[in-house]
Structure 1
């Protein structure tokens, strides 16, 4: 009887250990995916700012300011603020010169850059959602399977080439 109990306890401990190991591996993979998506989002925002700076030289200083702020976990506010400022200036530009605005907003490079930013934004927020869903499970938190990695946060971004 003692042998059966010992075998059952060993199997239960092994199953729990394997679950914890594979969950920690999954979390590691999700964190890598989140970091890669963040790097891609940074690159696409920088590319969009560079394209805007080239197409509209008057907005180049604001675009350079936005491009100069790095996206880092826990420090999204400054980049979000710079992006909002750039968006406000773009819309002011669109309102001031409608003919030039139409040609700029239809520029394939800007349309491509904006599309890539929107895709990168979606991919990043999806990766954050998946990571947070696993990290916030009670058993994962109790066993501290997330390690020392910070809990990722969502990046808020909304912009349209169309005027409101």
Structure 2
């Protein structure tokens, strides 16, 4: 093999390696954007759920003590720091421990107020049925949004663990994304095909 043939073969190998690195970096970038978008969508659904909980507390459908507890938990979840700036979503750090605790607290309070199937059915059949149904729908969408976000994070983590992504540092300086872990289990009476 002559010098020119060796150089041509090395150039071809280099071109293929650069192409593969570019494709890998593009894939990692796409996955990071997917995680950021899913986090923003999750935040929007959690805010919608908190708003629906405040509306339920203000509707007079619950007893006064439950109304106060639900409103307090909903305001705590709202005040715990929704994503308001696009740069905050790009941090890839989930929602943060304070927000996750507040959202789990809202879930526990709502479940306590609505867990009894007969009470939830009574609320759904009563004059505030629309408010309870809106809360159930918002809660279900928030649950789905969290699942989609966590799946996007898991997919990104799998790709970032590949040997060539780590070797060539294709993720750049982007932090490793984190899942959102919170209690968001709906009461059986509010599940779409449940109660």
TM range, normalised to the smaller chain? 0.7 to 0.9
Q: How much has 1:112 moved relative to structure 2?
A: 1.4
Tell me, yes or no, if structure 1 residue 155 matches structure 2 residue 180.
yes
Q: How much has 1:97 moved relative to structure 2?
A: 10
Among residues 109, 115, 123, which one is paired with 1:103 in the alignment? 123
Distance in 2 (CA, whole Å) between partners of 1:17 and 1:100 is: 60
Distance in 2 (CA, whole Å) between partners of 1:112 and 1:81 is: 22
- Scaled by the length of structure 1, the TM-score of the pair is 0.87
Q: How much has 1:96 moved relative to structure 2?
A: 8.2
Higher helix share: 1
Q: How much has 1:36 moved relative to structure 2?
A: 0.4
Alignment gaps of 5+ in structure 2: 59-66, 84-88, 190-195
Distance in 2 (CA, whole Å) between partners of 1:88 and 1:104 is: 20
Call closer, same or farther: CA 1:86–1:45 in 2, change over 3 Å.
same
Q: Which residues of 2 match residues 106-145 of structure 1 at below 5 A?
A: 107-145=132-170
- Scaled by the length of structure 2, the TM-score of the pair is 0.74
What's 2:78 paired with? 67
Moved more, 98-107 or 33-42: 98-107
Count matched residues. 163
What's 1:83 paired with? 103
Secondary structure at the counterpart of residue 56 of structure 1: helix
What's 1:39 paired with? 40
C-alpha RMSD of matched pairs (Å): 2.3
Distance in 1 (CA, whole Å) between partners of 2:173 and 2:119 is: 53
Call closer, same or farther: CA 1:30–1:116 in 2, change over 3 Å.
same
Alignment gaps of 5+ in structure 1: none
Distance in 1 (CA, whole Å) between partners of 2:116 and 2:136 is: 20
Encode CA deviations 1:51-96: one digit per residue, 9 max, x unaligned. Answer: 0111123211210110222366335211111112112212322368
What's 1:54 paired with? 55
Q: How much has 1:26 moved relative to structure 2?
A: 1.2
